[in-house]
Structure 1
Amino acid sequence: MRTSIATVCLSGTLEEKIHACAEAGFDGIEIFEQDLLVSPRSPEQIRMLADELGLSLDLYQPFRDFEGVTEDLLEANLYRAEAKFKLMNLLGIGTVLLCTNVATATIDDDELAAAQLQRLADLAARYSVRIAYEALAWGKYVNDFEHAWRIADLVDRPNFGTCLDSFHILSRNWDPSGIEKIPAEKIFFVQLADAPRMSMDVLSWSRHHRVFPGEGDFALAQFMGHLVRAGYNGPVSLEIFNDIFRQTDEKRTAVDAMRSLIWLEEQTHLHLQDTEGPGFSYPMELATLPKVDDPTGFNFTEVKAEHTGAVQELLYQLGFGYAGRHRTKPVQLWTQGQARVVINEQQARNLEPSIAALGFDVENPVVAASRAVQLKAQPVPRQSQADEEVLQAVSAPDSTEVFLCEASADGTAAWTREFTPESGAPEHAAGDPTAELITRVDHVNLSQPWQHYDEAVLFYESTLSLARQPSTEVPSPLGLVRSQVMRTEDRGIRLALNVAPMALEHPTAASSYPAHVAFACTDLIAVARRALARGLDFLPVPANYYADLQARFRLDEQLLDTLQRYNLLYDRDEDGEFLHFYTATVGNVFFEVVERRGGYDGYGAPNTPVRLAAQYERSRREQD
């Protein structure tokens, strides 16, 4: 599959965008007219730069508001078009994108439109230019791709065809199967965009909320399937209008864009394999990635900090036992059941406690790492001694290190042999092996920078096959927090990605949205009693919460009293019950303990505003 991207997707100057696209591995680019107009480089210099970097210039766009006009306006439009065709010859671009008329059309007549477009095509032919006619979803008279194709068919010129844009088709819920009725040689260009489903006018939706494939809700693999079956074999290009992408580093955005096309190429192949059978054959060749099974569980979580005493105390209070110190590194291991927490002090000068790494159990770590690297993930360099486990790791968009660990049938991890108890163990080192109430990691919640949230969703979806669940928004004292849960089908991995409000200049913002690890247990009340006896500082829950809880659920008075005494939270649905509590925050991390009863599958979402408000209040007091 030949890849391309419109320069409008990226921030920076045209030159910076071209370099970023080349470094990300694209085959070609579309030149967005505004990017060229503000560039100090001549068209010839832009063409030379692209040649030097191995990029083809696939499309010049957009040319707007041509057809369905009066004769006087048509003459002016032809004059304008000829100037663009001359410019395209200087750039070495052979195809121009012509959008259906939005602003100046006054005559709703397909025959007239086709006749006027014939004159444009004949003029373009003198400059060896092809015209790709695209139906804008908000076009005045032509706003669907099949209507645009009927007009293109009436034009009947070899250099006049159509451009298909997934956003304009899928945003209006047009049936994309009609693509297969268009002759492949008349599909001159294809542009892709994903988007979240939203209730708003389509123009605003298009101009501000497009995202890369895999980051929205459109069925793009099925869309691509229709293109492949139609016989299309030209560039597959990204055209993304997104306010955030235009503000972030162009190199990083280009990598995210390329990852989305690599992922979509694989998804299209799998879709066609399901619908056509394994022996399907079409002109467009679709590459695949190394196949890996879903991760089966969390192997470990890692907290990094310069001073780790507070984290050690929290783990001790929750019943974790000290399993030893690494024999060559300033790293500790704490365990309870199948839950492992690594405390890392290396290269942590001035670093407050924070989640630095997550380990995932996978069937074949080397293959899983190879897949991640092919999806543009950056490998994490790691020094190992000759007798130490070689662990595969890549960096997530928020810089969390993702370790791909070999799953073992008995739940052990080979790397733990590198940790040995020592005489200089921490003060709170003794666990309670007779009462391992915590069994495993239930879920991890990571706070994401607002500008890289969509990138993070695609990263975990493509590299680890975590499926997106419907996103939710919960109120906090500083605004709405958007939460996106990613998980495996069997719920062995549950990863929540949270985007905090853009209030980073607020003095309490950083400490009000820390990340956390949630541990599953068999008896939450017993864990709370033990933790209280060991001095745990629970996150306080206001009395108003318990009054409302009783009004909603009519709990047994003894249970309600117990919940309030230990600052425990409660939720219930038709499938079961959920009990949980939070520790105080240390640096940028805190812990949660949860007990799922019956088939409860959620995360206590109604309780999240209580937690956010309590964390904000505590942080505010500490600032005073």
Structure 2
Amino acid sequence: MRTSIATVSVSGTLAEKLTAIAAAGFDGIEIFENDLLASPMSPSEVRLRAADLGLSIDLYQPFRDFEAVPPDLLAANLRRAEHKFRLMEQLGADLLLVCSNVSPAAIGSDELAADQLRLLASRAAEHGIRIAYEALAWGRHVNDYLHAWRIVELAGHPSLGTCLDSFHILSRGSDPIGIAAIPGEKIFFLQLADAPLLAMDVLQWSRHYRCFPGQGMFDLPDLVGRVLRAGYTGPLSLEVFNDVFRQADAGRTALDGRRSLLALADSALPPQIVPTGFAFAEVTAGDPAPLGDLLGVLGFVCTGSGEEVWEQGGARLHLRTAGDAGPALTAIGLESPDPAGSVRRAESLLATVVQPNAIAAPDGTRIEFCRSGDLPTSGNITHIDHVALAQPWLNFDEAALFYRSVLALGPQQSLEVPDPYGLLRSRAMHAGPVRMVLNVGVHWQHLALACDDLVTTARGLPPELVLPIPANYYDDLDARYDLDPELRTLGIMYDRDDHGEFLHLYTITIGRVFFELVQRIGGYQGYGAVNAPVRLAAQHAREGDAPAK
């Protein structure tokens, strides 16, 4: 599988983009015209630089508003095209992307569009160049991939084919089943982008919110499979317009894009190994004593020395002394039926191995793969329910792809939660008993510990260790549900869904870390997100100011 990426997908100058893309292991690039126009390098110099880096130039794009126009505009467009053909000869690119016309001057005639595209292809062939015609989702008359194919078929020129773009197909809700009707040799290029499901204008959606495969909600494995079965033999190429990506480090973004394509071609990777539970969580602090005191109150027993190991039920926490900062969650142990196999899978997806059975997550958290532990001890707390990790805002999508592809955690809906100082963006990932929540917008991390009887557990906690929840929250809860009034006095919050009920409370925060005690009743699937705005406000009030983010 050859891989390619559009230069518009990463940040920096064209020279910086080429370096980052090559370092990530891509085979080729799409040159986005604006990147070339802004570059001090001549087309010939770009060609040489790409060749030195081992990159082919697979596509030059975009050429806009060409087809189905009146004669005077056609003459001007052909003149413009000849200039691009000469530029592409210097660049060493032999495929030009032509987008469907969005101009008000465009005429709604397939026959005219086919005639003019045939003429363009004929002129291009004289320069050894082919034309890939693409239907933009917002095209004036052509906005569907099968419509674009019908025009290509009507034109009937060997140097004219179609470009399939996953965003333009799936954002319109078009059925990719029609790809089977297109001969593989006439699919000249395939561009891939994922996206979150948003209710907004498709043009703005496209220009700002595309993401790499596996970071959004499109079914790209199905679409790519259909294109390959049709006989397409070209590269899988990423074309992603994303405001965050264009501000992030080019090297990290390119590496993330490469990971997304490797995950998309999953059959070529070592097998995916699903973790079977949490083995431990590690917290590091200059002085771990306050956290150890809190764990003791929660019923944990210290069973190790040096690096303290605290246990209760099936929950195990390691407290490590290092540096002089307050407590921070630094590592997560995951039970794996094959730790070495889990590491091989991670390495194949470009993860950094930091210890024989451990890798680094995008935010630096160490993920360690362990064999299943000993039988749980007794205690009110039974196991780690979930882990919530704060992510740098530029790397939120990178983290989502990492946990999805490397750890086989399936994504749940992305949420935006009101915070007193902005919005908390959150996405839960899970596979069986392993649940992780990725947050952007706060600096706190937390561990959720499961109980079979939270009310009984809460009765044994000193009130000063429990995060105080405003009375207004409980007044509203009383209006909606007929609940035990003791929830108010114990600081327990409540939620329910179609599957069951959820009780949870929060401890005070020490450093960046706090604990959540949870009880899932029935088959409750969520994380109490409806209560997050109240909890965040209570935490900010306790800190007395907005925390650094």
- 2:381 corresponds to: 438
- 2:429 corresponds to: 486
1:155-554 correspondence runs (5 A): 155-266=155-266, 287-326=267-306, 331-346=307-322, 349-380=323-354, 382=355, 391-408=356-373, 410-411=374-375, 436-488=379-431, 490=432, 492-500=433-441, 513-532=443-462, 537-554=465-482
Give, in whole Å, the separation in 2 of the partners of 1:565 and 1:112.
75
* Secondary structure of residue in 1 paired with 2:331: strand
* Secondary structure of residue in 2 paired with 1:5: strand
Contact 2:502 2:518 (8 Å CA) reproduced: yes
Once the two structures are TM-superposed, the CA of residue 536 in structure 1 deviates from its matched residue by: 5.2
1:599-614 correspondence runs (5 A): 599-614=523-538
Give, in whole Å, the separation in 2 of the partners of 1:464 and 1:543.
40
Contact 1:133 1:160 (8 Å CA) reproduced: yes
Contact 1:332 1:344 (8 Å CA) reproduced: yes
> Does residue 106 of the first structure (1) align with residue 106 of the second (2)?
yes
Once the two structures are TM-superposed, the CA of residue 233 in structure 1 deviates from its matched residue by: 0.8
Give, in whole Å, the separation in 2 of the partners of 1:456 and 1:568.
31
Once the two structures are TM-superposed, the CA of residue 184 in structure 1 deviates from its matched residue by: 1.1
TM-score normalised to structure 1 length: 0.85
* Secondary structure of residue in 2 paired with 1:58: strand
Once the two structures are TM-superposed, the CA of residue 575 in structure 1 deviates from its matched residue by: 3.8
Give, in whole Å, the separation in 1 of the partners of 2:545 and 2:361.
33
Once the two structures are TM-superposed, the CA of residue 466 in structure 1 deviates from its matched residue by: 0.6
Once the two structures are TM-superposed, the CA of residue 596 in structure 1 deviates from its matched residue by: 2.1
Give, in whole Å, the separation in 1 of the partners of 2:189 and 2:260.
19
- 1:134 corresponds to: 134
Once the two structures are TM-superposed, the CA of residue 293 in structure 1 deviates from its matched residue by: 3.1
Which residue identity lines up with residue 524 of structure 2 in the other structure? Answer: Y
Give, in whole Å, the separation in 2 of the partners of 1:455 and 1:296.
23
Once the two structures are TM-superposed, the CA of residue 143 in structure 1 deviates from its matched residue by: 1.1
Once the two structures are TM-superposed, the CA of residue 78 in structure 1 deviates from its matched residue by: 0.8
Once the two structures are TM-superposed, the CA of residue 355 in structure 1 deviates from its matched residue by: 0.8
* Secondary structure of residue in 2 paired with 1:591: strand
Contact 1:59 1:97 (8 Å CA) reproduced: yes
Once the two structures are TM-superposed, the CA of residue 169 in structure 1 deviates from its matched residue by: 0.8
Relative to structure 1, the CA distance from residue 575 to residue 58 in structure 2 (aligned partners, 3 Å threshold; closer, same or farther) is closer
Give, in whole Å, the separation in 2 of the partners of 1:570 and 1:184.
55
Q: CA RMSD in A?
A: 1.7
Give, in whole Å, the separation in 2 of the partners of 1:58 and 1:574.
50
Contact 1:576 1:597 (8 Å CA) reproduced: yes
Contact 2:458 2:490 (8 Å CA) reproduced: yes
Runs of 4+ in structure 1 deviating by more than 4 angstroms, as ranges, are none
Which residue identity lines up with residue 445 of structure 2 in the other structure? Answer: A
* Secondary structure of residue in 1 paired with 2:544: helix
Give, in whole Å, the separation in 2 of the partners of 1:175 and 1:581.
46
* Secondary structure of residue in 2 paired with 1:445: strand
Contact 1:292 1:364 (8 Å CA) reproduced: no
Contact 2:339 2:371 (8 Å CA) reproduced: yes
Give, in whole Å, the separation in 2 of the partners of 1:262 and 1:565.
52
Once the two structures are TM-superposed, the CA of residue 480 in structure 1 deviates from its matched residue by: 2.5
| Residues 376-415 of structure 1, C-alpha deviations (whole Å, 9 max, x = no match) | 11111x4xxxxxxxx511111111111111225x447xxx
Once the two structures are TM-superposed, the CA of residue 597 in structure 1 deviates from its matched residue by: 2.5
Contact 1:475 1:481 (8 Å CA) reproduced: yes
Once the two structures are TM-superposed, the CA of residue 576 in structure 1 deviates from its matched residue by: 3.3
Give, in whole Å, the separation in 2 of the partners of 1:576 and 1:193.
36
* Secondary structure of residue in 1 paired with 2:107: coil
Contact 2:273 2:341 (8 Å CA) reproduced: no
Q: Percent of aligned positions with the same letter in both sequences?
A: 54
Relative to structure 1, the CA distance from residue 114 to residue 344 in structure 2 (aligned partners, 3 Å threshold; closer, same or farther) is same
* Secondary structure of residue in 2 paired with 1:554: coil
Once the two structures are TM-superposed, the CA of residue 68 in structure 1 deviates from its matched residue by: 1.2
Once the two structures are TM-superposed, the CA of residue 123 in structure 1 deviates from its matched residue by: 1.2
| Residues 73-131 of structure 1, C-alpha deviations (whole Å, 9 max, x = no match) | 11111111111111111111110101111125432222122211222112111110011
Once the two structures are TM-superposed, the CA of residue 360 in structure 1 deviates from its matched residue by: 0.6
Once the two structures are TM-superposed, the CA of residue 362 in structure 1 deviates from its matched residue by: 0.7
Contact 2:19 2:53 (8 Å CA) reproduced: yes
Once the two structures are TM-superposed, the CA of residue 622 in structure 1 deviates from its matched residue by: 9.9
Contact 1:210 1:242 (8 Å CA) reproduced: yes
Contact 2:145 2:169 (8 Å CA) reproduced: yes
- 1:423 corresponds to: none
Contact 2:497 2:525 (8 Å CA) reproduced: no
Give, in whole Å, the separation in 2 of the partners of 1:441 and 1:138.
48
Give, in whole Å, the separation in 2 of the partners of 1:568 and 1:144.
52
Give, in whole Å, the separation in 2 of the partners of 1:620 and 1:138.
49
Contact 2:421 2:546 (8 Å CA) reproduced: no
Give, in whole Å, the separation in 2 of the partners of 1:354 and 1:404.
20
Which residue identity lines up with residue 337 of structure 2 in the other structure? Answer: E
Give, in whole Å, the separation in 2 of the partners of 1:292 and 1:436.
34
Contact 2:467 2:538 (8 Å CA) reproduced: yes
Relative to structure 1, the CA distance from residue 363 to residue 92 in structure 2 (aligned partners, 3 Å threshold; closer, same or farther) is same
Once the two structures are TM-superposed, the CA of residue 157 in structure 1 deviates from its matched residue by: 1.6
Give, in whole Å, the separation in 2 of the partners of 1:621 and 1:18.
43
Give, in whole Å, the separation in 1 of the partners of 2:20 and 2:506.
43
- 1:272 corresponds to: none
Give, in whole Å, the separation in 1 of the partners of 2:502 and 2:141.
55
Which residue identity lines up with residue 274 of structure 2 in the other structure? Answer: D
* Secondary structure of residue in 2 paired with 1:231: coil
Relative to structure 1, the CA distance from residue 75 to residue 615 in structure 2 (aligned partners, 3 Å threshold; closer, same or farther) is same
Which residue identity lines up with residue 361 of structure 1 in the other structure? Answer: E
Contact 1:65 1:104 (8 Å CA) reproduced: no
* Secondary structure of residue in 2 paired with 1:531: coil
Give, in whole Å, the separation in 1 of the partners of 2:219 and 2:500.
33
Give, in whole Å, the separation in 1 of the partners of 2:150 and 2:474.
65
Give, in whole Å, the separation in 1 of the partners of 2:75 and 2:498.
68
- 2:115 corresponds to: 115
Unaligned ranges ≥5, structure 2? none
Contact 1:69 1:104 (8 Å CA) reproduced: no
